[in-house]
Structure 1
Amino acid sequence: MSDLTKNLPSLSFGNGLSEEEDGLLHLRTRSAALSFCGCAQAVFLCQLFQSLRSSIKKHCANKSGLFCGDLRVGIVGMGHLGKQLLSSLLEKTQITASNIKVSTIRPECAGNVEPGVECFFDNGRLAQWADVLFLCCLPSHLPTVCADLSPHLCRHTLVYSFPSAVPISRLVQLLEHNFVLKSQYEADAYDNPEVWRSCTHLNTALKHSLLIKLSCPLRLTGKQHKPSPGLKWMCAVLYSLVNICTSVHLEWKETLHVINQLFKDKLSQSLEMNAQHVISSSTSCMSADE
C-alpha cells in the first residue's frame, strides 16, 4: 500500500514543531539506533550460546548430562524493548517459543505475544528456569527486580542487562551474582540518521547489511580506524563462552578446542585462541588485528 502522506509536508512527522522541539528530533534517531543495536547484539549472543551448546555436545559426547535441552531464554519486562527483543529472538534464532518465558508486572496486557511463549509475573520462577536472562526494565525498577531474582539465580545463568545507566559493578552487587553482561550501546546515529530511522520494523531492519555493519561491536571507527569501544563487549562475550564451558567442567584444552572450532565453523578466517589470550589480564599480548 502506498504512503498517502508522501510529498505532503503538512502531514509530515516534524510539521508544527517549535524550534526547540525540532532540535530534539535527533533523539528519535538515537532511540531507533540504540534499540536496533541492543536487539542485534542479543540475537547474536543467543545464536552463539546455542551453537556453543551444540558444539559441546558434539565434541564431548562421552560426557553425559552436560546440557538438558535447548537454550532457555527469559525476558524481564514486556515494554517496547522487551517486545522487540522477543520478536527478534523468535524470527532470527533457532530458539523456539516454548524455550522463551516472559515475566512482566502486567501479564494480562501481554496477551498478544507469540503463541507458545509463556507470560506471567514471577521473577523468581523465571530466574530458576532460564539459562540467559534479559533485563528489559526501567533503571528505576532494577533494585526491586534484582531483589526478586537474586535468591533464585543458578550459578550458570547469564544475566544480560539492557538499562545503560546502571554499571556492571552495581548489578553484581544488587544480584549477588557475578555472571553478568551489559548491552554495549555504540551507534553512529548522527552520521547515519536516515538509515537508522528506517528501523521501523526491527526484523526487517536486521536484514539490512549496512545496519548490521554499523551495529557490529568490532567495526573500525574514525579516521585512524580505531577499534570500536564494543571490543570490550566482545571480550566479555568470549569470557562468557569460557564460563559456560567451565560450568560443565570442561578442562582448559577442551574449552579452547570447542570455542576455536565454533568460530572456525562460522568464519573462513579466524584467530586460533590459546590460553595466553584468555588468561592474560589485558589484551597487550594480542596484536591490533587479533
Structure 2
Amino acid sequence: MVDVFADLSSFSFEAGLSEEEKELIQLRARSAGLTVCGCAHAVFLCKLVRSLRCLIRSHAANGGSSGEDSDPCIGILGMGHIGKQLLLSLLEKSGIKPSHIKISSRRPESAVEFIQKGVECFFDNRRLAAWADVLFLCCLPSHLPRICADLYSRLPKRCLVYSFTSAVPVNRLAQLLGHDFILKPQYDFVARDPADVWLRCARPTAALNDPVLMEASCPLTMSGGISLGLNWVCAVLYSLLNICTSARLGSGDALSLINSVLKEKWPHSEELNTQSFISASYASSLLTEEPFPWISLPDAQTKETPLLCFLSSSKSMQQSISAAYKSLLETPAKPDAHSLM
C-alpha cells in the first residue's frame, strides 16, 4: 500500500513543533542510546564474568583451589523499563540460563512472561542480594535510600553490584550500601556526534544484533553522542581480578586466566601483568601463589590507578578489549554444556 502522506512535510511528526521544541527531539535518541548502551555493557560484563568462571572451574578440575558453576547468579532489583530491557537482553544474548536469573520487584505479577521462561520473581531484596553474584540495581532514585537501608552491610563481599541509578555517585552508593564491590557506568554526552543512530531499532534486544549499533556502543570507541571512557573499563577488569581473589586464586593464575579471556579474542594483545593492576612496590613483594589484594571498585572508578595509566598508553590492550566486546556480543548465546550435566 502506498503512503500518500510520505512526501508531505506538513504531516510529519516535527511539523507541529516550535523551533525550541525541535531541539528537544534529540532527547528521544539520547534516551534510546542510554538504554541500548546500558544493556549492551551489562551483557558484556556478564559474558566476561561467565567466561572467567568457566576458566576458573576448568582450573579447579586440574587441581586448582575452588570449583565454580560457570553461570553466575544474576539478580535484577526493579522491573521498570530498564529492568525489563536488561532482562530481555540477558535472556537473548548472555547465554546464562533463566534458572540463574532472579528478580525482586514490588509487582511480581508484572513478570509473568519471564516466570514462564524459568526466571524466578519475588519481592524480597535481601533474599536476592544474598543469592546473587551480580546484582543489578534498576530502581528509581527516589526508591534507592529505602533499598540501600534494607541492604546495608548485608551484601556478600563477592556480590558485584551494578547500578543503573544515575542520580547517586558511586562513592555515595558505597556508603549507603556499606559495600565496595560496586560498578556504575558514568555516561557523558558529546554534542558533536549525531545521536539519531540510536533510533535505528525500536527495541534494545534488536539493537544488540545490529552491527552499526554494536560499533557505536563499543566502550572505548563510542559514537552517537554518548561516551563512557577508560574508568569503566578499568573497573570491569578490576572486577574480574576480585572474582579471582574471591576464588582464592594466586596472582599468577589470576593473570593467566584474565589474559586468556582477552587474548582469545585478540591474540596479539599485550598481556596484563602484576604492575598493570597494582603499584610497583606492592607488585615486587607479591608472590605468584599469593592472591591479589581486594580492590575497592569505587576507588578504581574515581582515582588514577595503575591500570588506568596502563590502558591509557596501551593501544594494543584497548584493541583487545574492543575486540572482546564485539566478539562476545556477536557470539550466539549458548548454555554451557557442563552446566547441563
Fold shared by both chains (TM-score > 0.5): yes
Q: CA deviation at 1:209?
A: 1.8
Matches within 5 A, 1:144-163: 144-163=146-165
Structure 2 contact 185–228 (Cα < 8 Å) conserved: no
CA separation of 1:21 and 1:57: change in aligned 2, threshold 3 A: same
Equivalent-residue separation in structure 1 for 2:14 and 2:136 (angstroms): 34
Query: Could you tell me which residue of structure 2 aligns to residue 269 of structure 1?
Result: 268
Q: CA deviation at 1:15?
A: 4.2
CA separation of 1:123 and 1:3: change in aligned 2, threshold 3 A: farther
1:146 maps to a residue whose letter is: C
Q: CA deviation at 1:163?
A: 1.6
CA separation of 1:2 and 1:44: change in aligned 2, threshold 3 A: farther
Equivalent-residue separation in structure 2 for 1:32 and 1:4 (angstroms): 29
Per-residue CA deviations over 1:178-206 (Å, capped at 9, x if unaligned) read 00000232465762333111231212211
Query: Could you tell me which residue of structure 1 aligns to residue 54 of structure 2?
Result: 54
Equivalent-residue separation in structure 2 for 1:34 and 1:189 (angstroms): 15
CA separation of 1:214 and 1:220: change in aligned 2, threshold 3 A: closer
Query: Could you tell me which residue of structure 2 aligns to residue 203 of structure 1?
Result: 205
Matches within 5 A, 1:190-229: 191-219=193-221, 229=228
Q: CA deviation at 1:59?
A: 2.3
Query: Could you tell me which residue of structure 2 aligns to residue 225 of structure 1?
Result: none
1:245 matched to 2:261? The reply is: no
Q: CA deviation at 1:44?
A: 0.3
CA separation of 1:146 and 1:267: change in aligned 2, threshold 3 A: same
CA separation of 1:213 and 1:3: change in aligned 2, threshold 3 A: farther
Structure 2 SS opposite 1:152:
coil
Structure 1 contact 37–187 (Cα < 8 Å) conserved: no
Equivalent-residue separation in structure 2 for 1:5 and 1:107 (angstroms): 43
Structure 2 SS opposite 1:266:
coil
Equivalent-residue separation in structure 2 for 1:4 and 1:55 (angstroms): 59
How many positions carry a matched residue from both structures?
A: 284
Query: Could you tell me which residue of structure 1 aligns to residue 324 of structure 2?
Result: none
Structure 2 contact 149–176 (Cα < 8 Å) conserved: yes
Query: Could you tell me which residue of structure 2 aligns to residue 94 of structure 1?
Result: 95
Equivalent-residue separation in structure 2 for 1:66 and 1:73 (angstroms): 18
Q: CA deviation at 1:60?
A: 3.0
Q: CA deviation at 1:52?
A: 0.3
1:39 maps to a residue whose letter is: C
Equivalent-residue separation in structure 2 for 1:169 and 1:66 (angstroms): 33
Equivalent-residue separation in structure 2 for 1:156 and 1:173 (angstroms): 17
1:240 maps to a residue whose letter is: S
Per-residue CA deviations over 1:52-77 (Å, capped at 9, x if unaligned) read 00011112322364324621101111
Equivalent-residue separation in structure 2 for 1:195 and 1:207 (angstroms): 14
Structure 1 contact 103–121 (Cα < 8 Å) conserved: yes
- What's the TM-score, normalizing by structure 1? 0.89
2:93 maps to a residue whose letter is: K
CA separation of 1:268 and 1:63: change in aligned 2, threshold 3 A: closer
Query: Could you tell me which residue of structure 2 aligns to residue 73 of structure 1?
Result: 74
- Computed over aligned residues only, the root mean square deviation of the Cα atoms, in angstroms, reads 2.4
Q: Which has the higher helix share?
A: 2
User: Identity of counterpart residues, as a percentage?
Assistant: 54
- What's the TM-score, normalizing by structure 2? 0.76
Equivalent-residue separation in structure 2 for 1:5 and 1:137 (angstroms): 41
Structure 1 contact 33–187 (Cα < 8 Å) conserved: no
CA separation of 1:151 and 1:6: change in aligned 2, threshold 3 A: farther
Equivalent-residue separation in structure 2 for 1:23 and 1:201 (angstroms): 23
Structure 2 contact 91–97 (Cα < 8 Å) conserved: yes
Give structure 2 stretches of 5+ with no counterpart: 280-304, 318-341
Equivalent-residue separation in structure 2 for 1:102 and 1:4 (angstroms): 47
